[in-house]
Amino acid sequence: IMLHSTLALSLLLIAVTSNLAMAIKKEKRAPQTLSRGWGDEITWVQTYEEGLYQAKKSNKPLMVIHHLEDCQYCQALKKAFAENEEIQEMAQNNFIMLNLMHETTDKNLSPDGQYVPRIMFVDPSLTVRADITGRYSNRLYTYEPQDMVFLIENMKKALRLIQTEL
């Protein structure tokens, strides 16, 4: 009986330990759930408020991506965004990054409506840059997968505008 319970205890210990190891592994990867597929190398903030705080603190512009999981245009844009090395690198190094699947209370983030996908930039001075627009006059802040070069230009513009305005 003694041997039997020792064996059972060891097996239990092994089970608990491996579960713990898996939990620890998951813990390390947790921030990546915030990427939602937009780029796992990027450090994402969780909320708009946190994004504004980090932008002000770091003097980097905040890039806000509004999207929805079941929107095919969002999915297509996400794929192009995630696969573009230049965008991923700039996003990681020069921007505070936020992707949102819900609207914020800040009406400045939806100057021409609450459509998705839309990408807006907020200056470290906490000014929403409504002047940094995409190519489409009916949805000023939307981008399509073929617009990545244009989005890169707008990211550079967001960075340039900080330098000149401080």
Spatial contact of 59 and 123, defined as CB atoms under 8 Å apart? no
Percent of the chain residues past pLDDT 90, beyond the cut: 76
pLDDT greater than 60 at residue 23:
no
pLDDT greater than 80 at residue 106:
yes
pLDDT greater than 70 at residue 14:
no
| Domain limits, the chain | 48-159
Q: What CATH architecture applies to the domain 48-159? A: 3-Layer(aba) Sandwich (3.40)
| pLDDT tens digits, 26-36 | 444 444 589 99
Identify which of 158, 139, 135 has the alpha carbon closest to the alpha carbon of residue 147: 135
pLDDT of residue 20: 54
Determine whether 75 is exposed, middle or buried from the number of CB atoms within 10 Å of its CB (0-12, 13-18, 19+): middle
| pLDDT tens digits, 118-164 | 999 999 999 999 999 999 999 999 999 999 999 999 999 999 998 76
pTM for this model (two decimals): 0.80
The mean pLDDT value of the chain amounts to 87
pLDDT of residue 28: 46
**In this structure, what are the phi and psi dihedrals at residue 121, rounded to the nearest 5 degrees?**
-115, 140
Tell me which of 57-61, 103-107, 143-147 is least confident: 103-107
pLDDT of residue 27: 45
Residue 1 CB contacts under 8 Å (≥ 6 apart), including other chains: none
